[in-house]
Amino acid sequence: MRKKYTHSNKLKAFNAELMGDFKLYIQLLDARNNSEMLWEVKEIGLGVKQLILSSQENGGALKSGFGAAGNLAVPDAPDFIVGSVVEASLWKLREHLLEEGVSVIVVTASGGCGKTTLLKKLCHDKDVEGKFNIMFVPVSKKPTLTDIIRKMIQHNGLDVPEIVTEDDAVRYLQQLLIKIGQNPVLLVLDDVWTDSQSIIEKFVFKKIKHYKIVVTSRYEFPNVDLVHHLNPLPHEEALELFRRSVTVNGRRLVAPDDELWDKIVKRCKGLPLALTVVAKSLRGKDRSFWETKLRNLSCLGMDSDILDCLRKSLDDLDGNTSIKERFMDLGSFPEDRKIPATALIDMWVELYRQDFDGTFTINDLHQLFYRNLADRVITRRDSNEDEDKCYNNLYATQHDLLRELAIKECNQGDVENRKRLILDLARNNFPDWWSKQEQQTLGARLASISKGWNFVFLDWWSKQKQPTLGARLVSISTDGTFSTPWPNLQLPEVEALVLNFETNIQTKTYTLPKFIKKANKLKALIVTNYNFFPAELCNFHVVGPSLRRIRLERVTISLLSMGKLRLHNLQKISFFMCNIGQASTSNNAKISNAMPKLVELNIDYCDDLVTLPDGICEIKPLKKLSITNCHNFFALLGQLGQLTSLEVVRLNLCTNLLELPNSIGTLQKLVSLNISDCLSLSTLPTQIVQLVNLKRINMRGCLRLSVLPRSIQRLRNLKKVICDKESEILWEPLKNNLKSLNILASEEEANLDWLHD
């Protein structure tokens, strides 16, 4: 009887275990069946996405890596505006836009008055936004007409031609306006300088109906239909803006008397930029600090006075000098361009010896946002990004006055002793510290010397030894007119080098300067092409073994050719909108030999990437592999399992990726997997259940993925799943076994935001 009782208990336990597994299986089976019932609905969504993606293959707007509304979409407007002045201006401008006859409006005011903010609010006005096809173009100090018109063509989803001359550009613009002229067109030209009046004139076509232009500028332009003067805020409204800016969540952190508030606000002369920057510098400070600030502030009038006010707001940033340092670093990037957070991370991690992933760096950037010293731009929200320390969709922009202030601060003192060297060589303008004799000779060469002597002189000039410079951060910007060999700069201390360029449309090449080869302390190299099309990157062999981070944007360079290099200390390399090619090298050099210490590889918007070179999977230290927005990438190598150090794999928006390799199961350190918007992915390999340390999966937008492996419940450490609402039913049954599982489900339609990156 005792044995019978014992066996009976064992049978009951076995039966309970069997029924538990059976119930789980039934739940998974039900989930699969329900998923199949939703298949037709999903196919409709898939068809929509694939239809849009097909425009990329046929030369449409997505081919360049941005959606149809990407470059010239109206920026977000601030949550609130203060004052009857702005409201009155909005009303007047709205009336002028909606009436017949007025085709060009100039909104003029001194710097910091809120011209751009006003136009953002105007363009988001329901009457204006509902009527016009709006294109919002930052013009800046040195506009390129051909580049602006290319972006306008791309914005409207049309094939982008190669435009050689400005006359060609004007002709294409007229054709574009006629083509889209069924709907009224509003073109906003933001921040136009006085010497760009001729560009405004080339955008005007009086015979095209329902086409209007609004210009913001610090200057008045003659011969336009209407000039609107934006006045500073009256005192009461300036006080209101100041109060809003100095408080946090509606709560004052300090309560000085009204007289002190009143005096500080009066010193800001009603200028919104000065009011917000000064207010945020006073947050949480005691009365004595406010009184010191009042004594230091000068009365404002012209731009130089505004700069003086802003400079004094930088003098004490909570005693944290690092914030001012980061602020000045932003001047390394061109005016009116979005600054990628990833580029700032690469700079700051090396310059300031911060953590590899840039956690503290991002905190510093958020401090700049918090203090109104920079503006935040997010191109696409991904709930997994912060956890993965991926900031591909985060950018910073800077008001032109603040950028001017940053550069002025950088240029203090003798050039040999500056910590930062920011050179703008556009139009062959060279800095004063080059010898006058060299400048005069160069000017004569540019004007009249013969072609043969030209070459001889340039060769001589490029070899002349320049002063030894002590800068740790160097930024050099050039444009299509830059026609000289690189000078023989002496940069023994440089640790971060930022090269911004626009290529000549005939050559479409960019040659790295030879002086990089002698920069033995160089650790971060950021190369950005601001032209519309990728440029071939030449002379790459000059990069040396000291480099730890490289970021390349809009360049053509063979990924395989890098196997010839000696980048033995390189830890991170990023390609954005590059043609990285798959051509073989003559000596079959392996990337794993060239970059044996690589920890992070980022490839984003590289349309010609089909698969990874074999050598990538032999880089044992690799922890992060990110291949995103690469629509022709279709296969991961079977050797992926060799990358046993991988912790993060991002494959989002690889729309042609067919499957994950079975070897993924050997990635025992993998913590995060992002396969969102992989439209062609229909199954997950059964080996995925071997990822015992996997904590996060993002599979939102995987419309074909309707079945999970039966043994998926073995992922005991899985904490977070991001998916579509309709895919939630696949994961819900697992909650019985995975008690800490958090499922974040959203409507799939909301995820079409990626089309507007």
Output the pLDDT for position 549. 97
DSSP 8-state assignment for residue 248: B
Taking only the tens place, the pLDDT of each residue in 733-751 is 888 888 889 999 876 443 4
Mean pLDDT of 465-474: 84
Amino acid at 576: F
| Contact assessment for residue 351 and residue 473, using Cβ atoms and an 8 Å cutoff | yes
- The overall longest dimension of the chain from CA atoms, in Å, is 115
According to DSSP, the β-strands at 394-397 and 375-378 are: antiparallel
Question: CA separation (Å) from 676 to 39, 41, 200, 286, 705?
Answer: 18, 18, 43, 49, 11
Of residues 377 and 317, more confidence is placed in: 377
Q: What confidence score (pLDDT) does residue 723 get? A: 92
Q: What is the mean pLDDT of residues 265-286?
A: 82
Instruction: Give the DSSP H/E element, type plus range, for residue 698.
Output: strand 696-698
Q: Which CATH architecture has domain 84-229?
A: 3-Layer(aba) Sandwich (3.40)
Report pLDDT for 14: 52
Residue 6: HSE in the Cβ half-sphere, 13 Å Cα cutoff: 3
- In the chain, the N- to C-terminal Cα span, in Å, equals 74
Q: Where residue 29 falls among pLDDT bands split at 50, 70, 90?
A: very low
Burial grade of 11 (CB within 10 A; 0-12, 13-18, 19 or more): exposed
Tally of CB atoms within 10 A around 417 = 10
DSSP assignments along 54-122, one per residue = HHHHTT-GGGGTS-TTTTTSPPPPPS----HHHHHHHHHHHHHHHSSS--EEEEE--TTS-HHHHHHHH
Statement: residue 131 has pLDDT above 50? yes
Classify residue 600 as left (phi > 0), alpha (psi -120 to 50) or beta.
beta
Percent of the chain with pLDDT over 70: 79
Q: How far is CA 251 from CA 117, 247, 388, in A?
A: 25, 5, 33
- Give me the residues paired with residue 557 across strands: none
What does the mean pLDDT of the chain come to?
A: 80
Whether 541 has a pLDDT exceeding 80, the answer reads yes
Range from 142-146, 185-189, 679-683, 725-729 carrying the lowest mean pLDDT? 142-146
Most confident stretch, 150-159, 216-225, 357-366, 679-688: 679-688
Q: How many CA atoms lie within 13 A of 175 on its CB side?
A: 13
Q: Which amino acid is at 347?
A: M
Comparing 661 with 360, the larger pLDDT belongs to 661
Average pLDDT over residues 257-261: 81
Query: What integer pLDDT is reported at residue 501 of this predicted model?
Result: 92
In terms of phi and psi (left: phi > 0; alpha: psi -120 to 50; beta: otherwise), the region of 339 is beta
Which pLDDT score is estimated for 581? 78
User: What is the model's pTM?
Assistant: 0.77
Determine the pLDDT at residue 255: 59
C-alpha 186: how far from chain center: 26
162 is written with which tokens?
Answer: 């190669």
Residue 204, SS3 per DSSP: coil
- Given a contact cutoff of 8 angstroms between Cβ atoms, the answer to whether 653 and 679 are in contact is no
Q: Determine contact, residues 641/664, Cβ cutoff 8 Å.
A: yes
**Angle at alpha carbon of residue 320, lines to 398 and 354, rounded to 5°:** 80
pLDDT in the model for residue 286: 79
Cα dihedral across residues 66, 67, 71, 74: positive or negative = negative
pLDDT in tens, 687-714: 999 999 999 999 999 989 888 988 888 8
Confidence of residue 642 (pLDDT cuts 50, 70, 90): very high
Q: Give me the numbers of helices (H) and strands (E) for the chain, helices first please.
A: 22, 26
Q: What is the pLDDT of residue 35?
A: 44
Of the candidate ranges 155-164, 245-254, 651-660, 723-732, the one whose mean pLDDT is the lowest: 245-254
Number of residues that this document lists for the chain: 757
**What pLDDT does 317 receive?**
59
Burial class (CB in 10 A: 0-12, 13-18, 19+), 184: middle
Integer Cα distance of 283 and 674 in angstroms? 39
Least confident of 333-347, 465-479, 581-595, 622-636: 581-595
Q: Is the confidence at residue 456, as pLDDT, over 70?
A: no
Residue 506: Cβ within 10 Å count: 8
What is the residue type of 413? G
Read off the pLDDT of residues 207-250 as tens digits, 9 standing for 90 and up: 888 888 999 888 877 777 788 888 888 888 888 888 888 876 65
> Higher pLDDT residue, 147 or 575?
575
Say how far apart CA 376 and CA 369 lie, in whole Å.
6
Helices 400-410/303-314 angle, 10° precision: 70
What pLDDT shows up at residue 494? 96
pLDDT at 104 over 80: yes
Residue 631: name the closest of 60, 152, 79, 166 by CA: 60
Report, as an integer, the average pLDDT of 83-110. 83
The residues spanned by each domain of the chain are 84-229
16, pLDDT greater than 80: no
One-character DSSP codes across 461-524: HHHSEEEE---SEEEEEE-TT--SPPPEEE-TT--EEEEEE---TTT-EEE--GGGGG-TT--E
Radius of gyration of the chain (CA): 29
